[in-house]
Amino acid sequence: MKRLGPVAIEPVAAPSGAWVLAVSAGAVAAALAASAALFWAFGLSPVAVYRAMFAGTLADPRAAPEILRQSIPLLLCGAGLVVAFRAQFWNIGAEGQLLAGAVGATGVALFVPAGPWSIPVLFAAGFAAGAAWSLVPAWLRLGLEVNEVITTLMMNYIALFLVEWLIHGPWKGTAVFGFAYTDTFPQPAWLPVIPGTHVHWPTLAVGLLAAGGLAFLLARTRLGFEIRVLGQNPHAARYAGIDAARTTLAAVVLSAGLAGLAGAGEVAGIHHKLLSPSQVSAGYGYAAIIVAWLARGHPLAAVLTALFLGWIFTSGDVMKVALQLPFQVTLMFNGLILFFLIGSERLLAYRVRWTGVPRAGAPALVAAGNESTAATGVGGAHRR
Amino acid sequence: MIDYVLTTVVRALAVGTPLLWASLGEIYAERSGVVNLGVEGMMILGAFFAFAVAHTTGHPVLGLLAAAAAGGAAAFLHAVVAITLRGNQYVSGLALAMFGLGAAGVLGRGWEGIPLLTTLPEVSALTYLGLGLAVVLWGALYHTRLGLVLRSVGEAPAAAAAAGVNVILVRYAAVVFGGVLAGVAGGFLSVAYRPSWTEGMTAGLGWIAIALAIFAGWDPLRAVAGTFLYGALFFLSFRLQAQIPPEFLRMLPFAFTIAALAVMARRQRGQGAPEALGVPWAPGER
């Protein structure tokens, strides 16, 4: 325990919800402050930047559907990543799995005769393609102990070039002249939207169901129990007779499949064609890592954190228009938020308690006992 | 034919140079036990600052120094989070990559399309310097006391600390050194290889540099061999565009990396990696 005046700082095994919220909010605030400093160095008034950001999003009712629209892929990818991270599988490949899902859905939309079955079939194809994209990294990790962080990342680039090839080559639209995208999907393969918005609600509904379903899975089912044990203590899992490979694979396939659904939603709900990878995804798969990290291992919390990241993305778009900032401003925000989140993680292992003013003569700062290194929520990747 | 081979070798050297610098830096950082996945971000920051400074001052060498400083500063941020705050190294590195790509994109707005008048010749100083550096770093790693200290910190930090080594300091130094080299790697791109600033010009090289460190078994000399392999792969991907769709060729280095990691894993079976790689360490811990 450390004493700082009237406040005691002591290690705890599990942080309280309020403390997690306080530390996360502090990290986000610090990230926004650091961005402000960068804007100032760049010659932009931070006040003007944040005013534009606020006025264009939270203060503007027309922005709400936009925030919601951008939250959909973030929710699907993020809720899935929560489960993968709980199983200690560091899936950095949601971006590629999303693109693979978009390819799968496009294949159905373009080449399967259209009908009322189009939407369910293209969702299924999106899930399958996304899941398939995770199989090589999963197999390498489980069979050969190859670090999945690198392999899932590499798969992102491979997916990116696969989409590029398809839209320039075999799937290039017949009526698009010089442009690089596919033909427009037939109408039955278009996802319905909330009127007057771009919110493709079936995908949103699937995302909410997935978050709820995964929360149930983790809390109430045998597979969820196995995932939790495996993530917390692989040795204990082995003694308990849990099949690590099967359990991990289930978590990975679920996570990758949901990212694939996100990709299907983007092409069938918004663009109605397959187009350049940077237009299919604005980096949702990478930002979903923040969604999952902020959600601290709880799929339902990902609903809120996805909305938060959706707000960051919408803010980036607003700043693009209002201040002529490039789209990378969102990436800068995301990087800093993630950075401060990781940096503040250790605070979660402690509790701050008010103990009153110490008696005169007592040392102001007493350090005793060893610091707890309790891993909290999604813990460290202490493995090569 | 000889011309063709010669061109291939020279071009492979040129394309491979940034990979070599960045992966040498990553090898040293990882030898100290700290993974830094932020190479892509450190490289792009290096590329931008090198270009901006070289363009403003007219001195490409000053640009490279700025790149080194930018890479080192970015790596320092990662060191604070990964070493002092003992945060998750993998995610912290990813955050650094995101931040670097974002910040370079924002700062670099308005610098695109400007040519650089005084540049470094493409294959020259940095390529040969990189080859020399690899030999020096190899020698230092295996045949000096400093190298022994670095390796012991990455293998068994508690034992190193018991022997009187300042583990935290060594890790900071190794990570910042890695960032400096990654910064220079990025600077090479914007003042020598393609003397201009383009958003996203690192194009995934940073990730491949990390994979190369693993592929090389954390050995600086083996990284040289890997560099030429990748350099040749990149160069061939330009050469074969007429025969094979360019998108497939650009996929090649990434697909090859996955294959190479699989082959290495089969051969190494977990050996070769510093024992404490990725594991945060606190003074007093055993």
C-alpha distances out from residue B263 to A91, B215, B253, B270, Å: 21, 9, 15, 12
Point out the residue among B98, B261, B266 whose CB comes nearest to the CB of A335: B98
Scan for tokens 């939407």, then name that residue. A119
Q: Which residues of A touch B209 (CB under 8 A)?
A: none
Burial class (CB in 10 A: 0-12, 13-18, 19+), B159: middle
The values of phi and psi at residue A3, to 5°, are -115, 125
- pLDDT digit string (tens) for B22-39? 999 999 999 999 999 999
Structure tokens, A145: 């102990």
- pLDDT at residue A383 is higher than 60: no
Sign of torsion, CA B65 B68 B70 B72?
A: negative
Report the Cα A350 to chain-centroid distance in Å: 26
Helix (H) or strand (E) holding A291: helix A284-294
**What mean pLDDT comes out for the span A90-102?**
97
Point out the residue among A327, A332, A342 whose CB comes nearest to the CB of B88: A342
Band the pLDDT of A360: cuts 50, 70, 90: low
The values of phi and psi at residue A350, to 5°, are -125, 165
Measured between CA atoms, the residue of chain A closest to residue B277 is: A384
**What mean pLDDT comes out for the span A347-360?**
72
- pLDDT digit string (tens) for A169-197? 899 988 877 788 999 999 999 999 999 99
Q: Which residues of B touch A136 (CB under 8 A)?
A: 258
Beta-bridged to residue A8, according to DSSP, are A3, A353
Total residues belonging to chain A: 384
Residue window 203-242, chain A: list those with CB within 8 Å of chain B: none
Angstrom distance (rounded) from CA A227 to CA A241: 13
Scan for tokens 């930002």, then name that residue. A287
Specify the pLDDT at position B286.
61
Burial class (CB in 10 A: 0-12, 13-18, 19+), B203: middle
- pLDDT digit string (tens) for B273-284? 788 888 888 887
Band the pLDDT of A369: cuts 50, 70, 90: very low
Give the distance from residue A48's alpha carbon to the nearest chain B alpha carbon, in angstroms: 16
- pLDDT at residue A323 is higher than 90: no
Q: Cβ contact (<8 Å) for A150 and B210?
A: yes
Measured between CA atoms, the residue of chain A closest to residue B104 is: A328
Angstrom distance (rounded) from CA A321 to CA A49: 12
**What mean pLDDT comes out for the span B173-178?**
98
DSSP assigned state of A357: P
Q: Could you give the 3-state DSSP secondary structure of residue B88? A: coil
Q: Which of A234-238, B93-97, B196-200 has maximum average pLDDT?
A: B93-97
A338 lies within 8 A of chain B by CB: yes
Contacts of A187 (CB under 8 A, 6+ apart): A114
Band the pLDDT of B268: cuts 50, 70, 90: low
Burial class (CB in 10 A: 0-12, 13-18, 19+), A62: exposed
Specify the pLDDT at position A380.
39
Q: Could you give the 3-state DSSP secondary structure of residue A2? A: strand
pTM: 0.90
A293 lies within 8 A of chain B by CB: yes
Give the distance from residue B90's alpha carbon to the nearest chain A alpha carbon, in angstroms: 7
Scan for tokens 């080194």, then name that residue. B68
Average pLDDT, chain A: 88
C-alpha distances out from residue B182 to A379, B110, B175, Å: 28, 24, 10
DSSP string, B273-285: S-TTTT----TT-
Band the pLDDT of B205: cuts 50, 70, 90: very high
Q: Are B44 and B209 a contacting pair, CB within 8 Å?
A: no
Interface test with B, best of A38, A85, A154, A340 (most B CBs within 10 A): A154
Q: Are B209 and B69 a contacting pair, CB within 8 Å?
A: no
Give the distance from residue B55's alpha carbon to the nearest chain A alpha carbon, in angstroms: 18
Give the distance from residue A120's alpha carbon to the nearest chain B alpha carbon, in angstroms: 31
DSSP assigned state of A113: P
Specify the pLDDT at position A367.
43
Sheet holding A2-4, edge to edge: A2-4, A7-11, A350-354
